[in-house]
Structure 1
Amino acid sequence: MNKDAIKVALIKCDSYDLTKVKNAINRGIDLLGGIDLFIKDGDKILLKPNLLAAESSEKSVTTHPIVFEAVISILQEKSKEKNINIKKISYGDSPGIGKGISVAQKSGISEVAERLKIEYADFDEPIGISFNEGIKEKSFTIAKPITEADTIISLPKLKSHALTVMTGAVKNQFGCVPGFRKAEYHLKLPDFDDFSTMLLDLNKLINPKLYIMDGIMAMEGNGPRSGNPRKLNVLLLSSDAVALDYVASQIISFDYNSIPTIKMGFKLGFSNKENIEIIGDDIESLKVNDFKKPHKRIGIGRSLMKLSRFKIIKRLFSIMIPKPVIEYDKCVKCGVCVKVCPVTPLALNFNKKGKSSPPEYYYDKCITCYCCQELCPHKAIILKRKF
């Protein structure tokens, strides 16, 4: 066995039965080397679930509350068994829209936290952090509770994603950036690879000790909010986000080179593909070949649009890059898409008639960040190419 191996534990789990989930996570932690590797006496532990938007747990938009409860129960039980004094366990996230506590209530996570006396950490208060080790970003504004925790445990959800193809362990930490400050990064880093490198820098700064990915029910298709639940019956655990995401991509049969967070993670040395060791259950027994991808985008960064001084190239890319399109029969004119658009002036807005008709796009302003599609609560925005 390679002592330098990056371990990723694959554990079959066919339902959200609490006992089954606890047994699966306990098995994964033991295979990785035991709980002692991840927590120590006197720790303040922060759990970071995926709380993208206020949806019920069966829609597979957020980390399932049973996975959340299982992790808390294991921490509490292991601390007594190992005589480790955990000073505090809290949880938090900054959703794409709305308040984290509202999303936690809708998803069922808040009820679990209150029952187990776990404190909610408000991610609204920002704090600036220098990060000279960053490749793309040398500083970040992150939620204050992140800086106050000794140990962070990340609880991502396995989902397809229109911008990054798949979202998992690496992208889960984007929720540590408070509120609409996330939109600033879409404006600042229009290139897919640059944006993903920023996410990798952020992940390295936050440095979760353990990642436990909920893949019992994943999301396929028009993710990360408007896709469809897909049963995969798996939990994945690792101390390495890129390695975990790579193994997850193999389970759903996605080319990892099409997923910029994984591709750049290997290319820039955030992880080492050759050293990944899969432990636990056999990956071949968990693979699916028909997991629906998000709308296929060309593998060329949005920064190529800077060649727009050449009119023919500008026209070519405006045709090839998928654009968000509102399906009027599904639109309820709630205005969420308008609210989350990061550009000024807005790339979509209601016309002079107000909310009597759906918003209109102004594609000359659109940076194809897909925030509108990502956060539409009614699955009313899809991605299309002009042809």
Structure 2
Amino acid sequence: MKSSVSIVKCQNYDEDKVLSGLRRSIDLIGGIQTFVKKGRHVLLKPNLLYGKSPEKAVTTHPAIVKGVIKIVREAGGVPFIGDSPSIGSLMKTAEKAGIKAVADEMKCPLVEFNRPVLPPKGGGRIFKQLEIDQVVLEADVIINLPKFKTHSLTLLTLGVKNLFGCIPGPRKALWHLKAGEDRKTFAQILVDIYQVIQPSLTILDGVVGMDGNGPNSGQPIPPGLILASGDPLSLDQIVCDLLGISRKSLLTNRVAFEQGMGKDKIDVVGERIEDVKISNFQFPTLSRPDWNLPGVLRKAIKNALTSKPVIDEEVCKACDRCAEICPPKALARRGKNLFFDYRQCICCFCCLEVCPEGAISIKPGWALKIVGRRQ
């Protein structure tokens, strides 16, 4: 079945312009009535990774969330906002990100994901014990609201990756441990979550996005776009086209393709890809390139291929959030300084995600420096 992805220009977060852009992006793929019926309870799932102000481009912008609330209510739906931040409570994170102010203004409930349950219809294709929050499973409709950002583990965090937030906070660390250093295994986890949740509508906040050292410490950039689709996997493929990279460069796409998903033709409506391509985009340094090397050879040159997180002690404020979030507990404080145990580090870069000062960066292995960052 052919899916559609709309691309609409929106140059800033003026609320009227955002609302107009959202309406057009949804209308181009069938209109809100296609996705929301009267009386349906609609979960809005933004990216609320960490509590930073909207101009940092870490979280879905409040204007996007506010506009979607209005559109859902016009269709007779009953919206509520839900997520599970990497660290800290939802309320504090949403307050710093400007989402709580919108929720209060619009009288829209904020619900923290903290009730993990096994889906009644079973887990994913590979991972059968995925515990999704009960609120997610009980929603009549899920509208996925990702932010257009880089990610040092997955290359980009878009529609499929944003659904990882439907796993309650502490459980995320367990799945990072399950994947270990294998990026493809983590991509499989994400694809399995996508198959279980299957959001009705995905709207990508690409008005201002992030490149470089994402998902928390990169640079804001202005693509000036809103994308929408009934299928986040299709939307993610079109973002790859906008960036001028192979669709298989995004491992979630590749894993899905290998399992027969995402191969149908995608109908792009609204702006033409060639007219809104994103140039000079700075990709993150990934943990290692996926060259499909034999196991023995890969192990022999692991240090050359593996990037590692490092701490800038001059920037670090000793909040210890990185140590708290680290799944394998590979970070420990000795006196005034934090140290990595690289024998334990699984290169999930959760530490980088939650550092409020941008004190953690990625040091590439020497082979990565030679071949460059893009894969």
The TM-score bracket by the shorter chain reads over 0.9
Pairing partner for 2:352 from 367, 373, 378: 373
Contact 1:130 1:139 in 2 (8 A): no
Equivalents in 2 of 1:195, 1:30: separation in Å? Answer: 34
Equivalents in 2 of 1:232, 1:316: separation in Å? Answer: 38
Structure 1 unaligned spans of 5+: none
Offset from partner CA, 1:338-365 (integer Å, 9 cap, x none): 001101xx211102x2xx22x1011111
Other-structure match for 2:370: none
2:331 is the counterpart of 1:348: yes
2:142 is the counterpart of 1:140: no
Other-structure match for 1:13: 10
Pairing partner for 2:270 from 269, 280, 288: 280
Structure 2 unaligned spans of 5+: 367-375
Residues 337 and 303 from structure 1, CA distance in 2 versus in 1: closer, same or farther, beyond 3 angstroms? Answer: farther
2:39 is the counterpart of 1:48: no
Equivalents in 1 of 2:365, 2:136: separation in Å? Answer: 42
Count of residue correspondences: 365
Equivalents in 2 of 1:177, 1:132: separation in Å? Answer: 15
Contact 1:253 1:291 in 2 (8 A): no
Matches within 5 A, 1:264-303: 264-272=255-263, 274-300=264-290
Using the TM superposition, give the Cα deviation of residue 266 of structure 1 relative to its aligned residue in structure 2, in angstroms: 2.1
Using the TM superposition, give the Cα deviation of residue 325 of structure 1 relative to its aligned residue in structure 2, in angstroms: 0.8
Matches within 5 A, 1:1-387: 4-77=1-74, 79=75, 84=76, 86=77, 88-132=78-122, 134-190=124-180, 191-272=182-263, 274-300=264-290, 314-343=299-328, 346-351=329-334, 353=335, 356-357=336-337, 359-387=338-366
Letter aligned with residue 151 of structure 2: H
Letter aligned with residue 253 of structure 2: I
Letter aligned with residue 332 of structure 2: N
Equivalents in 2 of 1:361, 1:166: separation in Å? Answer: 25
Equivalents in 2 of 1:131, 1:270: separation in Å? Answer: 19
- Over the aligned positions, Cα root-mean-square deviation in angstroms equals 1.8
Contact 2:153 2:286 in 1 (8 A): no
Contact 2:32 2:71 in 1 (8 A): no
Letter aligned with residue 46 of structure 2: P
Using the TM superposition, give the Cα deviation of residue 181 of structure 1 relative to its aligned residue in structure 2, in angstroms: 0.7
Offset from partner CA, 1:238-289 (integer Å, 9 cap, x none): 01111101111222233322211111122212322x4111100111121122
Letter aligned with residue 93 of structure 1: D
Please identify, of 231-240 and 326-335, the stretch whose mean Cα deviation from structure 2 is larger: 326-335
Equivalents in 1 of 2:300, 2:88: separation in Å? Answer: 36
Equivalents in 2 of 1:296, 1:255: separation in Å? Answer: 16
Equivalents in 1 of 2:185, 2:113: separation in Å? Answer: 25
Equivalents in 1 of 2:64, 2:298: separation in Å? Answer: 48
Letter aligned with residue 340 of structure 1: I
Using the TM superposition, give the Cα deviation of residue 204 of structure 1 relative to its aligned residue in structure 2, in angstroms: 1.6
Other-structure match for 2:369: none
Using the TM superposition, give the Cα deviation of residue 128 of structure 1 relative to its aligned residue in structure 2, in angstroms: 2.5
SS of residue in 2 equivalent to 1:153: strand
Using the TM superposition, give the Cα deviation of residue 371 of structure 1 relative to its aligned residue in structure 2, in angstroms: 0.9
Using the TM superposition, give the Cα deviation of residue 130 of structure 1 relative to its aligned residue in structure 2, in angstroms: 5.0
Using the TM superposition, give the Cα deviation of residue 335 of structure 1 relative to its aligned residue in structure 2, in angstroms: 0.4
Offset from partner CA, 1:283-307 (integer Å, 9 cap, x none): 1121122110001443338998xx5
Residues 349 and 133 from structure 1, CA distance in 2 versus in 1: closer, same or farther, beyond 3 angstroms? Answer: closer
SS of residue in 2 equivalent to 1:203: helix
Contact 2:206 2:225 in 1 (8 A): yes
- TM-score, normalized by length of structure 1? 0.90
Letter aligned with residue 189 of structure 1: A
- TM-score, normalized by length of structure 2? 0.93
Equivalents in 2 of 1:98, 1:317: separation in Å? Answer: 34
Using the TM superposition, give the Cα deviation of residue 185 of structure 1 relative to its aligned residue in structure 2, in angstroms: 0.8
Equivalents in 2 of 1:364, 1:301: separation in Å? Answer: 22
